Amino acid sequence: MGHEAIVKLLLEKENVDPDSKNAAQRNWGRTLLSYAAENGHESIVELLVNTGRVNIDAVDEIGPFDLFTWPGSGLTPLGAAAENDHLGVVKILLANGADPAYKHSYEGQTQHSETPLARATKSGHEAIAKLLLEKIKSNAESEKQ
């Protein structure tokens, strides 16, 4: 049984909350959508988004600690997918309303804020950066109307 089959099975259960956050300290209060987005599991991202039971802009409570983030940062699934070069996941999340302009922050401090675009750019993912720029521009034009 693959990951997708297991997720489908779990989503059929009424008592399973697909938007719950992992409580283990070393897992940073992350959602299933966050893990799926970070690891490029497009079919699972699609499954979760289609339930209508997940917050597409859910923020990690602590966030991963690596060279590009601070502990305490609130990384979104879109930011994780953008940083890890998962173009298909980025497309799914944007098509379902993920906020390309959301800035995660280190314990609320905006001087360390980064958007998904910044994360894609830092990581050298040009196609994702272009897509995010197009979406940000499109959103800005829609807001003007």
Place of tokens 């109307």: 145
**pTM, 2 dp:** 0.74
Q: Is the pLDDT of residue 42 over 90?
A: yes
Other CB atoms within 10 A of residue 65 CB? 12
What pLDDT is attached to residue 55?
87
Q: In which domain, by residue range, is 87 found? A: 3-144
How far is 70 from 137, CA to CA, in rounded Å? 28
| Number of domains composing the chain | 1
- Give 18's pLDDT tier (boundaries 50, 70, 90): confident
Q: Is the pLDDT of residue 30 over 70?
A: yes
Q: What is the CATH number of the domain that holds 15?
A: 1.25.40.20
